[in-house]
Amino acid sequence: MLEAQHISVAFGDNTVLTNATITVGAGKVVALLGPSGSGKSTLLRVIAGLLVPDSGRVLLDGVDITALPTHRRNIGMVFQDDQLFPHRTVAQNIEFGPRMLGWVKARRSARVAELLDLVGLGALADRRVTELSGGESKRVALARTLAPEPRVVLLDEPLTGLDRDLHDQLADDLAGLLRRTNTSALLVTHDHNEATTIADRIITIDAISGSGAPGAHQ
């Protein structure tokens, strides 16, 4: 179970998040809905440990991980622009996480094959990631995130910018994939349809931001 409690973030004078609290139950997929610039991505970055909050804490299965560096959290993240490593092949991208965990070669290869199969890209293992289509690239990003068996997956507007047909198909695929792998996930999006397709539960950003009891944040 993932809990983010009373998170506040400000960049200089610009307050992005005030006293935000959200919980994702084990095996659940939660969609966080809100317009762009409302601090959704900032919350994901705090949970992933990419951004230090001004106040608040992050708990994973009841353990406070607020001070833990990103690479020890075992929280996966799918970025808006995929952020595939351009100097690695499809298989090498997927293998990256397991390699960081120190898995032996045989186990890594099996995991890569399993995931390529799961996202239906078995034939593209040795392809350069710069030669992939938008949809393929998105599937590789998802496979790469799932490969090291993260405890929670964060999805930052994963389907934004794709054309309608591809978007709808990938949304279905994503929903199926997260269910099948029984992954806890927090999805950030501004698209209500996408949220209903993928998530078990939908929360709006306004609902989680405490309007700020005085003194609740420094």
Partner 1 sequence: MDRHRGAVNSAAVRRHRRSPNRLPRALVVGLAAPALVFVAMFYAWPVVTLATRSFTAEAVRTVLHDKAIHRVVWFTAWQAALSTVLTVAVGLIPAYLLARYEFVGRRSVTALVTVPFVLPTVVVGAAFLALLPDSLDQSATAIVVAHVFFNIAIVVRGVGGLWEQLPTDLAAAARTLGASPARTMREITLALLAPAIYASASIVFLFSFTSFGVVRLLGGPAHPTLEVEIWQRATRLGDVGVAAVLSVTQLILLGVAVAWFARMQTRHQRTLGLAPLTQRQRPRTRRQRVFVGFTIASVVVAVGAPLVALIEHSLRTGQGHSLAAWRAVFGNDVANSNRPSLNPGLDAFASITASLRIAVVAMLISVVIGGCASLAITALGRSGRLLDVGLMLPLATSAVTIGFGLLITFNSAPVDWRGSALMIPLGHALVATPFVVRIVVPVLRAVDPRLRDAAATLGATPARAWCTIDLRITARPLLTGAGFAFAISLGEFGATSFLTRHGRETLPIAIERLLNRPGALLHAQGYVLATVLAVLTFVVIAAVEAIRVERRTHA
Residue 188 and residue 32 in contact, taking contact as beta carbons nearer than 8 Å: yes
Residue 105 interacting with partner 1 (CB under 8 A): no
CB nearer to partner 1: pick between 34 and 53: 53
The token duo for 186 is 């927090």
Residue 96 interacting with partner 1 (CB under 8 A): yes
Residue 74 interacting with partner 1 (CB under 8 A): yes
Stretch that binds partner 1, among 19-27, 75-83, 105-113, 202-210 (CB under 8 A): 75-83
Choose which of 59, 101, 162, 166 interacts with partner 1 (CB under 8 A): 101
Whole-number Å distance between alpha carbons of 190 and 195: 8
Residue 138 interacting with partner 1 (CB under 8 A): no
Q: Angle at Cα 183 formed by Cα 182 and Cα 189, nearest 5°?
A: 130
How do beta strands 55-60 and 63-64 pair? antiparallel
Whole-number Å distance between alpha carbons of 155 and 178: 11
Residue 188 three-state SS: strand
Residue 50 interacting with partner 1 (CB under 8 A): yes
- DSSP letter at 209 equals B
Residue 158 interacting with partner 1 (CB under 8 A): no
Residue 92 interacting with partner 1 (CB under 8 A): no
Interacting residues toward partner 1 by CB under 8 A? 11-12, 45, 48-50, 52, 69-77, 79-81, 83, 85-87, 96-97, 100-101, 130, 144-145, 147-148, 154
